[in-house]
Structure 1
Amino acid sequence: MRIASVAPDKACAEIQKIKENDYGFFEAETGGAIVSTKSGYTNPLGELNCVWNETYMSANMESILVGYDDPRLGAYFEHCTDEALKGQYRGIRQGTCFAHSHYSGLSKLFVLQSTDAPLMTASEVWFLRAEAALRGWTDEDEEACYRNGVTTSFHQWGIYGVEDYLKSELTASGFIDTYDEENNIEARCKVTPKWNPQDDKETKLEKIITQKWIAMFPEGCEAWAEQRRTGYPRLFPVRFNHSRNGCIDTEIMVRRLNFPGTLQTEDPEQYSALMEALGGDDHGGTRLWWDTGNNNLE
């Protein structure tokens, strides 16, 4: 699906291969691929969360999960420890140059060093199938796949009673910063959890990817890749853009990581080949080859 916009014929052919293989799909909430911590592996996100104390709920997560009254909120994040915010879930907007001392009482993640690290879950697979159906690459029902994706995500976290959520017409809420009103911003995500067969394809894709983004937590790398590929969910821009010479667009934000800093001097031939393949400048604002900015749904 990553190449859906740049090589749709190849992407469709690969989908058909998957459908025809003998092993099938991850479908149940217990299905998926994880990196287990039982044999000595330490979850790096848990290390950042519990030892470094540098991971907190984002403003985007707060906006979408609180706005949706999403029951996964309590499975993903802790309540604030700040006495004035007891019982609340509060996040931090990116790119605000905040001071750690101000925000240390906000919502941390429920991820420990001993938490298994997910690589792919059944819910993610259902959303991939929903998008494939939306693009007309399979004969599956896009709504059924979407609903299964949400349901499987809920069940993965031991949450049931998903029907009310799937009927919900709630939207994301505006973000109100705990300490600095200059960071406040109106919600960017306007779609609801409820599926509407009459919506256009782009709106349907936005719903699929928004729920996929929620369900991927805490696997942030894949969620970032899908957000870059599709533009969904619609995220808050950084308040302060400190990229060199404004090389990273404030609205669409970071598109890639720079090549390792030593590569240019240690292996100039390899660096030159990579730059040619990149087709742009070596900075965070250059799109990767599959990141077209167009979902090509028609």
Structure 2
Amino acid sequence: MKRYLSNINKPAVWNSMLLAGTVLLGASSCTKNFERYNSDNTGVNTNLESLIRHEQRAIYNFSGGGDPNSFQLQQNLNADCFSGYMMSANPFGGNTNMNYALVSGWNGEPFKVVYLDVLAYVAQMKQLKVDEQYPPVWAVAQITKITAMDRATDIYGPLPYSQAGGNKTGIPYDSQKDIYNSFFTELDEAVASLKSFISSGQKLPFDFGAIDLVYGGDFNRWLQFANSLRLRLAMHIVKVDAVTAKAQADKALDPAAGGVITANSGNMNIQIVGAGFDNPLVHIAQSWTDINIGASIQAYMSGYNDPRIGKYMDKSTDALPALNGQYKGIRIGSTVLKNDYVTYSTLNFKDGKTPSFNSTTPVQIMTAAEVYFLRAEAALRGWTSAGGTAQALYETGIQTSLDQWGVADANYITDATSKPAAYADPKNAANNSPALSDITIKWEEGVTPERKLERIMTQKWIAMFPEGQEAWTEFRRTGYPKLFPVVNNNSGGLIDSRIQVRRLQYPQNEYNTNAAELNKGIQLLGGADNGGTRLWWDVNKGNF
């Protein structure tokens, strides 16, 4: 059973800006027959299929195949837990991210992945002149890059972006504001390219559908995802720059842009194909038994009698009568021993005739339900481009999620009495907590905008499961849903238990190899390089 625990205190062996030394050594000539490219001397395979698929898989990293060590550190032992979705029964030696003793040897992984498994591969495509010869393919590569890079900047804050791949050392950091503005500009270019290609009726000289792990070469669906991604990014910045947020949301929702995702057939999922690849979250839960369900998601869904609960999680197998056959998550920061807590609920990979999760379950990045909830918030803010009332879009978001998971409940949307449940741990009462919210499901028109937003965000959070990265971002942005705080906070006062983790610290290797520019980046961050410092868009003020 593979573990990263042995690497907790080891310095990183990669150079964060290895990108600069590799991507500029690409193939010296181009040919339209990508199938005949050989691997270059950087170790990056220049076959277009390999480049595209590697980049797509690296969003939620399982690019190397085999066991998903990278994903465990890229997301699972940080955002998946910070979002309230998950918690590990494995103590991993005691002081870890789960009790806010943020582990430097773990938390450099998202940084490494975005440069060496995303930007490096995009740069290889640039070297092969994919942008000139196959504009729609380049547009897909750019959209994928933005998806991955947004996750990285929303983890750390300022990052090298505009000049990444230039010099081998001394790579400048961009502010998060500038990075977001670059995203919007790049989405303009990608959307224009896709619209032009689609309207032209032209065909590529090769089968892109056989390469594309997301939409099977359907550029119309890539266009809708690009617009939906723009809407997501716009909403991220609404508290820090409401003018730009509205302008970008209006652009995303303009029918002339090509539309957003409106049906589950348009969900942004990465397919699991090829020898040696499996769903990394399922692998960690099933094969390693390293991750369980978090107390927050279990308590909300139990309290709501949510029909999706059995799709999301399995029932406890513990022998204790208070646990056996019950849905029971683990509260973040609990003192755990694996033999005691591994029997609590985990992903549903075994309950029922057709468990929801298996080794080939596609990796979920964005769903139609999320887009409806984004539009519901836009309508709540008075943005007429939302295309409906906040209530109608909220209710459609819930129904779309129920449809996605194949469950039916005629009364769920109109339930005005069910509330999130309290949490009780039969094995340790120190982990108990009362419910922190009394928000119900049924829409209420005559309440404050803040109360309406809590209702939207709570259902959005439930619907986005198990994608913890975006769920953590939205919790930080809005404060919703109200998550159980960490039981044991071992941050030494750096992270406030009440407002919870706001970011991850920069990798030690950046201090070793790019210190001067990193220190400028920390100045752009506007606070200390620790888990308690807020990002640019994470403004400490009300939502309205």
What is the TM-score when the length of structure 2 is the normalising length?
A: 0.53
2:478 and 2:543 in contact (8 A); partners too: no
Q: Residue type of the partner of 2:366?
A: M
Q: Residue type of the partner of 1:97?
A: T
- Change in Cα spacing, 1:107 to 1:296, as seen in structure 2 (3 Å) is closer
- Equivalent-residue separation in structure 1 for 2:494 and 2:379 (angstroms): 37
RMSD: 1.3
2:407 is matched with which residue: 159, 166, 177? 159
Give the 5 Å matches for 1:80-159. Answer: 80-84=316-320, 85-110=323-348, 111-138=357-384, 140-159=388-407
User: 1:263: which partner in 2?
Assistant: 510
Moved more, 50-59 or 149-158: 50-59
Is there any run of 5+ residues in structure 1 with no aligned partner, and where?
Answer: none
Residue 529 of structure 2 is aligned to residue 291 of structure 1:
no
1:212 is matched with which residue: 460, 465, 478? 460
Moved more, 21-30 or 132-141: 21-30
User: 2:262: which partner in 1?
Assistant: 27
Moved more, 98-107 or 227-236: 98-107
- Equivalent-residue separation in structure 1 for 2:519 and 2:359 (angstroms): 39
- Change in Cα spacing, 1:274 to 1:112, as seen in structure 2 (3 Å) is farther
2:251 and 2:257 in contact (8 A); partners too: no
- Describe the superposition over 1:171-207 as per-residue Cα deviations: whole angstroms up to 9, x where unpaired: 0111000201121110012101111001110000000
Residue 250 of structure 2 is aligned to residue 4 of structure 1:
no
User: 2:54: which partner in 1?
Assistant: none
Moved more, 283-292 or 46-55: 46-55
1:231 and 1:293 in contact (8 A); partners too: no
- Describe the superposition over 1:207-226 as per-residue Cα deviations: whole angstroms up to 9, x where unpaired: 00000110000100000000
Give the 5 Å matches for 1:151-190. Answer: 151-161=399-409, 163-168=410-415, 169-190=417-438
Q: Residue type of the partner of 2:434?
A: E
2:503 and 2:535 in contact (8 A); partners too: yes
Q: Residue type of the partner of 1:71?
A: P
Runs of 4+ in 1 over 4 A off after TM superposition: none
- Describe the superposition over 1:6-48 as per-residue Cα deviations: whole angstroms up to 9, x where unpaired: 0111010011111223421211232211111024543221121
Paired residues, what number? 295
Moved more, 251-260 or 267-276: 267-276
Residue 283 of structure 2 is aligned to residue 47 of structure 1:
yes
Larger radius of gyration, structure 1 or 2?
Answer: 2
1:78 is matched with which residue: 304, 309, 314? 314
- Equivalent-residue separation in structure 2 for 1:39 and 1:122 (angstroms): 27
- Equivalent-residue separation in structure 2 for 1:253 and 1:167 (angstroms): 32
2:333 and 2:489 in contact (8 A); partners too: yes
Is there any run of 5+ residues in structure 2 with no aligned partner, and where?
Answer: 1-234, 349-356
2:315 and 2:345 in contact (8 A); partners too: yes
Partner SS for 1:273: helix
- Describe the superposition over 1:75-117 as per-residue Cα deviations: whole angstroms up to 9, x where unpaired: 0001111233332111111111211111111111034332211
What is the TM-score when the length of structure 1 is the normalising length?
A: 0.95
Residue 271 of structure 2 is aligned to residue 36 of structure 1:
yes
- Equivalent-residue separation in structure 2 for 1:268 and 1:80 (angstroms): 47
Residue 501 of structure 2 is aligned to residue 254 of structure 1:
yes
- Describe the superposition over 1:124-145 as per-residue Cα deviations: whole angstroms up to 9, x where unpaired: 0000000000001126200000
Residue 460 of structure 2 is aligned to residue 225 of structure 1:
no
1:230 and 1:293 in contact (8 A); partners too: no
Residue 294 of structure 2 is aligned to residue 58 of structure 1:
yes
- Equivalent-residue separation in structure 1 for 2:289 and 2:505 (angstroms): 26
Shift of 1:51: 2.0
- Equivalent-residue separation in structure 1 for 2:432 and 2:389 (angstroms): 39
Query: Whose helix proportion is higher, 1 or 2?
Result: 2
- What percent of counterpart residues are identical? 41
- Equivalent-residue separation in structure 1 for 2:289 and 2:242 (angstroms): 42
1:50 and 1:113 in contact (8 A); partners too: no
1:34 and 1:117 in contact (8 A); partners too: yes
- Change in Cα spacing, 1:194 to 1:134, as seen in structure 2 (3 Å) is same
